[in-house]
Structure 1
Amino acid sequence: MSGMPLDTAAIMSTVLEGILYGFSILMFVGTMWTLTHKNRTQAVNRPIATVAILLLLLSTAHMIVDIVRIEEGLVKYRHTFKGGPPAFFADVAQVTFVTKNAIYIMQTLLGDGVVIYRCYVVWQSMLIIILPSILWCITGFTAVYSISQATSNAGNIFAPATGQWIQAFFASTLSTNLLSSGLLAYRIWMIECSISTSRTRSGSTMPVLRVLVDAALLYSVTLLPALVCFICSNNGQFVMIDLLIPIISIAFYMVLIRIAIRRPQSYLFRGGGTSDTERGNRQHAMKPLQVHISQFTQNDINDGTSPYSERPSTYKQEPDAVSE
């Protein structure tokens, strides 16, 4: 093992995680406001609200376990644990270590599951999400197995019997996130290209695309260093893993909040001509958008806050706009 001492890594990771956790709480409040603002109770998108609450609960539980672990390693067992604090934090058989990693696994699987679900809603095809779903299952399997192997190699988490499975876990969750986000972004880009020639109002779906790409990059740029540190047997991976917990929540909240902020500012279509031919062409051109984009956003943010609201298929006076 190399890098900073484990007791130093534990303190640093808890402090940095606490900062990001506080920021995630603020974003959670903004997300719940976005979901409930101007909506009746029965109109709130309950599945998305449930995911947001679960992410907050898991982040909170992980933060609490980290604080307990710091107190035990640096205070409670400082003079009684053989080898002192560094040996305590190196012992992966400790209840606090197993618990915090179990929470991290649940947070990761929940975050990856949301991305796969969004990908399915936009594509409306089970075939598209087969590979991401397989990778998601592999992530869960390797995570559980790596923990069972870690407890049998309590003194060294980088031992070959443990390390290969943890590396597989990191690689599978990174691949799941990048593949699902890539398919999602590609589909939105295809829709943007298909409607760009018939658009008569300023605006596009590109802001939504940028939001999704930003969320994927935020998660990936944190997970990739964790994987590299683990391959190099560097203790910095403990810091990066703890930072991933609030970042998963922040990435989820960011998508909802940024799309809601964009909603009143621009439009995808603005009315030009009013002839029957133009109405018919516009109606035909908007069909792919109505089928895919509106369903995607309605599953994330309910009707009152969605940046793309479902519109009637008949245009009488002035063509309705699909707001962003």
Structure 2
Amino acid sequence: MGFEIDTAELSGLVVEAGFYGMYVTLFIVSAYVFAERQSLKVATLNLPMTITAVAMILLATAQLAVDTANVFVAFLHNDRAARIAFLADVSTKLFSAKHCILITQLLIGDSFVSYRCWIVWGRRLWIVILPIMLSLGSAISGTYVMWVFAHHPSTTVKQQKSWVAAIFTLSLCANAVATSLLAFRIWQVDRRNRIILGGSTSTLMPIVKILIESGAINAAYLFVYNVTLLSGSQALEFMAQVATPISGIIFSIVIIRVGLNTKGELDWTVDHRSTMKFANGPKAKKEMITDPTITTMRTTVHEIAMGASYGTGTGIGADLEMGSARTNETNSLKGQAI
């Protein structure tokens, strides 16, 4: 016997409620951790991260409410055949609401990952052009699909599966590109910093590990969603229901892991407005002290306090956000700029 849509919706609601409870708990813990760090003057309020965190919890709450209403209406007022027909009807307001919330969550997660990447790369716009275009493509695909569902009630999800797959595939690519660029930049800075300053211990590689782990979770979910969609299984609705809380869980876990790190994981960004010239050769260290044409690079050490991507994808990737400046250090570097 096949996996009918009413079974998928009901089981999805149960699992979603469990994930939502986990998300609320992690959200409270992450807020507490950040508030404690702020009270100790270790971090200050970061507006983009705060807006993203609040938007995610509100969307997850709205998703649970809509999914609950959808299941209650279907099960309380219809027999089995009518119930299945109601849940498969793409023109209902509840269907539109739940999927609009999901698409919005994806867009928020993608945007925040791109924002993080833009910050870490010294606010270079060209770096994030590709992930931004991929996110816009995902948003356009989602808008088109919802328009078709609203104006053509006879259309089914299976008939539009190419466009639906485009939503999640483009979101997956946007998260993968932005996360890869972000992880590469942190690794690059860490490597050059250790070479130039002669350090042997990495303080930034734990950040790369957190990014990769959260991004992998997000990518795994989006991959499974696409496989479910292309297979034509009714489990698609189950996957859609759990997407929003999973995105928030990834976001909150990253904030907590970074916030509780006793080593104070750091990230470096470069002020590209400064004019820099570096000495080369075996006498570089001495020349940097005596040569007036050699300037020092001023770098601002930022605390990483990021939440996820949507991930998540879902976030809904996802991951790290640049916090307020913790300390300012002037470093004499030899060789090349970070």
Q: TM-score, normalised by structure 1?
A: 0.81
Q: 1:89 to 1:219 in 2, by over 3 A?
A: same
Letter in 1 for 2:68: I
Q: 1:99 aligns with which of 91, 97, 104?
A: 97
Task: Give deviations 1:99-150, integer Å, cap 9, x for gaps.
Answer: 0111111111111100000000011211110111111111111001011122
Segments of structure 2 that go 5 or more residues without pairing to the other structure are 268-284, 307-319, 333-338
Return the offset for 1:296: 5.8
| Structure 1 range deviating more: 38-47 or 26-35 | 38-47
CA contact (8 A) 1:35 1:45 kept: no
Task: Extract structure 1 runs of 4+ deviating beyond 6 A.
Answer: 265-268
Greater share of residues in helix: 1
Matched residue, 1:170: 168
Q: 1:154 to 1:199 in 2, by over 3 A?
A: farther
Matched residue, 1:89: 87
- Percentage identity across paired residues of the two chains: 23
Task: Give deviations 1:3-24, integer Å, cap 9, x for gaps.
Answer: 5110100011111111111111
1:262 and 1:256 mapped to 2: Cα distance? 10
Segments of structure 1 that go 5 or more residues without pairing to the other structure are 269-276, 316-324
Letter in 2 for 1:310: T
Does residue 310 in structure 1 map to residue 304 in structure 2? Answer: no
Matched residue, 2:75: 74
- Note the aligned Cα RMSD (angstroms): 2.9
Q: 1:122 to 1:3 in 2, by over 3 A?
A: farther
Letter in 1 for 2:328: R
Does residue 300 in structure 1 map to residue 321 in structure 2? Answer: yes
2:128 and 2:248 mapped to 1: Cα distance? 22
Task: Give deviations 1:19-55, integer Å, cap 9, x for gaps.
Answer: 1111111111122112221425994223311211110
CA contact (8 A) 1:223 1:241 kept: no
Task: Give deviations 1:43-100, integer Å, cap 9, x for gaps.
Answer: 422331121111000000000001101100011x214x9x321111111111111001
Does residue 108 in structure 1 map to residue 129 in structure 2? Answer: no
Letter in 1 for 2:321: D
Q: TM-score, normalised by structure 2?
A: 0.78
Q: How does 1:239-318 map to 2 (within 5 A)?
A: 239-264=238-263, 290-291=299-300, 294=302, 300=321, 302-303=323-324, 309-313=326-330
3-state DSSP of counterpart to 1:294: strand
Greater share of residues in strand: 2
3-state DSSP of counterpart to 2:260: helix
Task: Give deviations 1:242-264, integer Å, cap 9, x for gaps.
Answer: 11111111122222211112243
3-state DSSP of counterpart to 2:67: helix
Task: Give deviations 1:151-195, integer Å, cap 9, x for gaps.
Answer: 315462101xx2221111111111111111111111111112112
